Chain A
Amino acid sequence: MENKTEIGKVIKNKLDNLDKSPSDFVWSKIEKDLNNKRRKRILFWLIPSILTVIILSSLLYINSDFHKENIDPKTPSQKNASNSTNSKNETLPANLQKKGSDEITTVKKTKTVKLVKQSTKFVTSTNEYEEYEVVKKYKVIIKKEQITSKPIKTTAKDPNTINAKKPIVAYKKGNSKNGIAKKIAKSSFTKPKKTQKKEINKISKTTIVGNKTPKNVILEKTIAEKDTITYNNFKKDLPTSIIIAEPKMDSVAKKDSTDLKKKTTPKREYKERKYTPQTAEIEPEFTISVFYGPALFGSLNSKSMISPRMDDLSKSHPITSHYGVYVKTMFDKIGFRGGFSKINLKTSTRLNQNLIPDYTNINLKTEINVKETFGESNQVDLVQNLSYYELPLEFNYAIKKDESKIGIEAFTGFSFLILDKNKLYLKSENVSQQNIGEAKNLSGANFSYNLGLGLSYKLTERIALDINPLFKYYLSTFNKNEEAKPYSISLQSGVSYKF
């Protein structure tokens, strides 16, 4: 009874019995965990990007307000010009054309590229490959503007000019069969002006339904890209180092393959392999910290923040407080920190006998008579008390991060600050504190540049004590041009918890 079978299949069947693979549940759990880690990585970038967007948008908003205030009302034409430019569009270099003997025509082109459609089509599938066809369809709009330098009186009356105001949208040809847009190769248009004809001819693959004398023409260009992407189930993910291309050689083993003597298992030789130092897989660390600490406020050039006439008076810097919450994400040695905090700031100016020399920047309370109350006192201090709500976004770099308990980080970034409290006090040896009003020269929103050092001491794997000396330089404290350069130094001390 001959029962011949192919030798490879027999051996495969036999050896399959040796395979002990983990259950599908184990694999699905591993893959689920891997997906969770991937989500964590996304979160790591999400927090700082949201904060950046908030800060940038508020910066833009503030700048635009500031710009409006500063614009000279006598030059409205410039304002219109700046508003009309579209920042999203790419402006192509303008072409100059001589028209006739005197006229110079400038053709300005603005290009907009937009992805209109993207479709993926499944082609074939084998055990190893899945092949897809990806079709991307772009819409390119080139807007042409003709500017004739020679002034023409009849511009408004000229019917051509009236037509020109209406941009003519080109007709687009597309073949949607098979989901692939055809490249449009032919161009056809009716009676364009000579000057434009030259321009349009330069653009291939366009179809234009022309106007007799268009001055503004919008051309639509459809580009179809046909990409064939082969998705390999898992080969794609493999490190490239694994497969090394070698020169092709036909080969067979040097050894005598027919040697059938049973070989003894060779002794295991210890081979020292040098592995390139690989860092462990980096997972983002999330830390939340709460802090409270003292803060000092002053001006780098010792100028007064209230009035230039008080620049020469002696100033002191009472200690105030700075407290809040930080969320930090660290990716190995680099990370971001954002949060919410409140900073109280105070400076005190010792007034002379003249008391307050200049009330320009002070919004005085009506019922206060400074001279009557403080006229006879010897030591009168004008205290400026400010407080800001702060949204910081900082970039962290770990200078020392190891298994030891002490960690050192440097961080720098910006804070968006919203003015909360703005008060001016007078105090003397007789009157402890008298609120006289508020400063008028302060802007409601402020930005600061931050630079600091983060020192931490690990209590446990997750909990650490932090001390962060922080220097802040305020960038837009005043709504007028003031010479004072305000800064603050704070020592944030607190506890952090690592997730």
Chain B
Amino acid sequence: MLSLKYCPNEAEAEDNLHDSFIEIFTNIKNYKGNGSFEGWIKRITINKAIMRYKQSYLLTAIKDDFSQDDTVNESEIDFSLDTILSFVQELPHQYRLVFNLYELDDYTHKEIATMLSISESTSKSNLHRAKQILKSKIKSKNTFYYSKQKNGE
């Protein structure tokens, strides 16, 4: 599930999981027992995904104003879990990484900045952009859904 959230599709998630397990088995002797084993595995899997996507695209900086609304009406997001997951997976790589790390795995912007070798403000900007994209996806999906209902299909 963790790999699915961090990768754009199932096939790449499988690859990521595979690579993560190789890393885990190779380095299991380095696990000193500090922290939970589960957390250690999780961290390796996330890092593998970061390695996979943070180098994939050359990214250019933009200045965002964060004034736009990041909230959504809960009733608007009444989709299947697969659909919600696909929204996240379809995000551009870096947006997806930042969104997952910050929102789903509770890392701070400072930590994300270190992990992805970007600045903190870039991390914040990427998160905001990710949310905007998700919001617009949800909106368009709803419009499509309601229009279908309206047309009696």
Question: What is the interface of chain A, defined by CB distance below 8 A to chain B?
Answer: 2-12, 14-15, 17-21, 27, 30-31, 34-35, 38, 127-128, 231-239, 242-255, 257-258, 260, 262-263, 265-266, 268, 271, 273, 275, 278, 280-282
Across the interface, which residues of B come within 8 angstroms of A235, CB to CB?
43
Pick from A232, A244, A255, A262: contact of B34, CB under 8 Å: A232
B74 with A5: CB separation less than 8 A: yes
List 20 interface pairs A-B (beta carbons < 8 Å), by A numbering. A5-B74, A6-B72, A7-B134, A8-B127, A10-B72, A14-B77, A15-B88, A19-B1, A27-B38, A233-B34, A237-B31, A237-B35, A243-B115, A246-B55, A250-B61, A250-B119, A251-B60, A251-B126, A257-B95, A260-B136
CA distance A127 to B42 in the complex (A): 15
A335 to chain B, nearest CB (A): 17
B71 with A6: CB separation less than 8 A: yes
B119 with A238: CB separation less than 8 A: no
A11 with B73: CB separation less than 8 A: no
Across the interface, which residues of A come within 8 angstroms of B93, CB to CB?
253
Across the interface, which residues of A come within 8 angstroms of B55, CB to CB?
246
B132 to chain A, nearest CB (A): 8
Among all A-B residue pairs, the 8 with the closest Cβ atoms: A251-B59, A250-B61, A233-B35, A8-B103, A253-B92, A234-B35, A268-B11, A246-B117
Is there a chain A Cβ closer than 8 Å to B9's Cβ? yes
CA distance A247 to B59 in the complex (A): 12
CA distance A30 to B25 in the complex (A): 13
A5 with B71: CB separation less than 8 A: yes
Interface flags for B4-15 (1: CB within 8 Å of A; 0: not) read 010011111001
Pick from A7, A38, A128: contact of B111, CB under 8 Å: A128
A11 with B88: CB separation less than 8 A: yes
Across the interface, which residues of B come within 8 angstroms of A242, CB to CB?
23, 44, 47-48, 51
Question: What is the interface of chain B, defined by CB distance below 8 A to chain A?
Answer: 1, 5, 8-12, 15, 19, 22-23, 25-40, 43-44, 47-48, 50-51, 54-55, 57-62, 70-75, 77, 81, 84-85, 87-88, 90-95, 99, 102-104, 106, 111, 114-115, 117-119, 121-122, 125-127, 129, 131, 133-138, 140
B26 with A278: CB separation less than 8 A: yes
A263 with B90: CB separation less than 8 A: yes
Across the interface, which residues of B come within 8 angstroms of A239, CB to CB?
23, 26-27, 30
Across the interface, which residues of A come within 8 angstroms of B129, CB to CB?
252, 257
A281 with B29: CB separation less than 8 A: yes
A258 with B136: CB separation less than 8 A: yes
A27 with B36: CB separation less than 8 A: yes
CA distance A49 to B95 in the complex (A): 55
CA distance A124 to B135 in the complex (A): 38
Q: A237-B40, A253-B93 are in contact. Are A278 and B22 (CB under 8 A)?
A: yes
Across the interface, which residues of B come within 8 angstroms of A282, CB to CB?
29
Further contacts, 10 of them, CB under 8 A, given A6-B70, A11-B104, A239-B26: A4-B74, A5-B74, A239-B23, A249-B59, A249-B117, A252-B126, A257-B91, A258-B133, A266-B8, A281-B28
Binding site secondary structure of chain A: loop
Q: A8-B103, A250-B121, A255-B92 are in contact. Are A234 and B34 (CB under 8 A)?
A: yes
A8 with B131: CB separation less than 8 A: yes
A23 to chain B, nearest CB (A): 11
B85 with A260: CB separation less than 8 A: no
Closest to A21 in B: B38
Across the interface, which residues of B come within 8 angstroms of A127, CB to CB?
106
B104 with A244: CB separation less than 8 A: no
Closest to B54 in A: A246
Q: A251-B118, A253-B93, A265-B10 are in contact. Are A234 and B43 (CB under 8 A)?
A: yes
CA distance A8 to B138 in the complex (A): 12
B8 to chain A, nearest CB (A): 8
B140 to chain A, nearest CB (A): 5
CA distance A235 to B102 in the complex (A): 17
CA distance A285 to B114 in the complex (A): 41
CA distance A258 to B77 in the complex (A): 19
Across the interface, which residues of A come within 8 angstroms of B37, CB to CB?
27, 30-31, 34
CA distance A284 to B127 in the complex (A): 48
A247 to chain B, nearest CB (A): 7
A252 with B30: CB separation less than 8 A: no
Across the interface, which residues of B come within 8 angstroms of A246, CB to CB?
54-55, 117
Across the interface, which residues of A come within 8 angstroms of B34, CB to CB?
231-234, 236-237
CA distance A170 to B35 in the complex (A): 45
Across the interface, which residues of B come within 8 angstroms of A262, CB to CB?
90
CA distance A426 to B54 in the complex (A): 87
Closest to B113 in A: A248
Across the interface, which residues of A come within 8 angstroms of B50, CB to CB?
243
Across the interface, which residues of A come within 8 angstroms of B22, CB to CB?
275, 278
A34 with B31: CB separation less than 8 A: yes
